[in-house]
Amino acid sequence: MNYLNFILSFIIVFLPSELKNKERDIDEYITSITPSEVVTITTYTPSVEETDSTPLITASGFKINERNPRRHRIIAVSRDLKRKYKFGTKLRIKGAGKYDGTYTVRDVMNKRYKKRIDILVGKKDKQTKVKKVKVYKIK
């Protein structure tokens, strides 16, 4: 994987100049050369009902800001994906509507889930419907 990161870094440095000024084009360029994976995506809130007895501390030990948990852009991955995406890995999510973007793996889900990612949202946010989306590993 280090070899792939090196190649991606090299490509980004030597992008055509017309792409350097357009973040959206760069995003599309990176995702077009990076292998993707289709996963099921849902959302969760930092509450005892949806997590464990310490909802403001993730499985990686990261402390969540109770007032604005969304600002951390945290995701929890199912245990089968945890083997591939370690804590601290950045993933780009596409196809999730308002939840599209780059997130950091900081939590892990219950063992009953497979090929699934949970996006941390605030308590007042509406829960999203279950969707299938593409995920790209950034780091």
CA distances in angstroms from 3 to 8, 34, 61, 70, 84, listed in the order given:
9, 13, 29, 32, 16
Residues 8-51 pLDDT 10s: 566 656 655 555 555 566 666 665 666 678 999 999 999 888 88
Smallest Cα–Cα separation from 99: which of 76, 79, 118, 80?
118
Q: Which stretches of the chain are DSSP H helices? A: 2-13, 17-20, 23-33, 79-82
| Separation CA 83–CA 59 (nearest Å) | 14
Tell me phi and psi for residue 43, to 5 degrees: -125, 160
Residues 86-126 pLDDT 10s: 999 999 998 888 889 999 999 999 999 999 999 999 876 76
Ordered by where they begin, the domains of the chain are 1-34 (no CATH), 36-137 (2.40.40.10)
Residue 49, both tokens: 């009902």
pTM beyond 0.85, yes or no: no
